[in-house]
Amino acid sequence: MKPHKPKELAADSSNNSLNAVLQALRCEPSPLSGEALAARLGLSRTAVWKRINRLKAQGSAIAGSPRRGYRLLAPPDKLLPAEIALGLQARRLTGPVHYFEGLASTNDLAKELAAKEAPEGTLVVAESQSRGRGRLGRQWDSPPGVGLYVSLLLRPPLPPSEMPQITLTTAVAVARALKRVTGVAPGIKWPNDLLLGGKKLGGILTEMETESDQIRYLVVGLGLNVNNPAFPKELRALATSLALTTGRQFSRVQLLQAWLEEFEALYDRFLAREFPAILEEWRSLTVTLGRRVTVRQGPLTICGQALEVTPDGALLVREDSGEVVRVTSGEIAA
């Protein structure tokens, strides 16, 4: 049987001219004719008409015709490439954006693209995932239209041992973005779970491919529960969303833009060897240090006091015997 290929929208740089049309419509409450739009943007009328149709096909609610003029009825509540690019302040990590209504896993596709030499900054975004993956082989619940399911491709010229630091950096960027857009300050559970009220709000799955002791590529996958009105029974005690905690709805586009902007700023500092300052910020946001923890690391269970996170991202736990154990992966169960 032929494998089903998910439908992809606008994964190329012609997004720029779509953005320009969208921007012009955003700023104009009265209808803008095809002619006026063409003159304003330096495009032919046919080019304008084509872009309007593409925006409509992507889900933008645009009413009107070339002669009567076009009007944007409401910005779509979708993570469309043109919406993401509009007003995005990031300079380097800006696409191409591969957008899907439904996908198995954004991380899986990002890895496929990476293997085909996609550039750093490539972003894979889906409205839903059928096989969203979490850490330690878990599933990531990814219902349509309510969460962020995104994967960002990076190519840091560094050894694989630095990957944990990028994961911690990502969590700090998510915390910053959440604070900026929603006012909500999540806690970070080592290594990179985002928590609100003790429940999981988001998680990060970082995966990499190496080549002769260098990172060939790294995919940072972010899952964030934004407007989920509820969770399946088995997750109810464990997971929460921004909407459930605050009673408000949030723009996923705005959250994604804020994460990209904060991440880019932190990633630049990371590449400039400023990780110690990022780690300090991570320490100020974590709910793990100083607490009694139970860490599951494969078949091992380590119980004790969480003392410190080392500059390479490992957690130091003082067991009841007094021995200090270095934990490099695993999950804090309690």
Residues at the interface with ligand BTN (CB under 6 A):
105-107, 129, 132-135, 138, 140, 149-151, 193, 203-205, 221-223
CB of 124 to ligand BTN, least distance (A): 8
Least distance in angstroms from the C-beta of 91 to ligand BTN: 24
Nearer to ligand BTN, 133 or 252 (CB): 133
| CA–CA separation, 43 and 109 (whole Å) | 34
* Cα–Cα dist 95/11, whole Å: 8
The minimum distance between CB 134 and ligand BTN, in angstroms, equals 3
Nearer to ligand BTN, 79 or 306 (CB): 79
DSSP string across 186-212: -EEETTTEEEETTEEEEEEEEEEEEET
Give whichever of 144 and 159 is closer to ligand BTN, judged by the CB atom: 144
Q: In 3D, which of 194, 118, 189, 226 has the Cα closest to residue 331?
A: 189
Nearer to ligand BTN, 140 or 275 (CB): 140
Smallest gap from residue 31 Cβ to ligand BTN (A): 38
SS3 category, 172: helix
Q: Quick one: 70 or 100, whose CB is closer to ligand BTN?
A: 100
Supply the minimum distance, in Å, between the C-beta of residue 193 and ligand BTN. Answer: 6
Sheet hosting strand 123-129, strand order edge to edge: 8-9, 97-103, 123-129, 147-154, 214-225, 199-211, 193-196, 187-189
CB of 94 to ligand BTN, least distance (A): 19
Residue-by-residue DSSP string for 130-155: SS-B-GGG-B----TTTEEEEEEEE-
Q: How many CB atoms lie within 10 A of CB 229?
A: 10
Report the residue number whose CB is nearest to ligand BTN.
Answer: 203
Nearer to ligand BTN, 54 or 133 (CB): 133
Q: How far from each other are the two terminal CA atoms of the chain, in whole angstroms?
A: 45
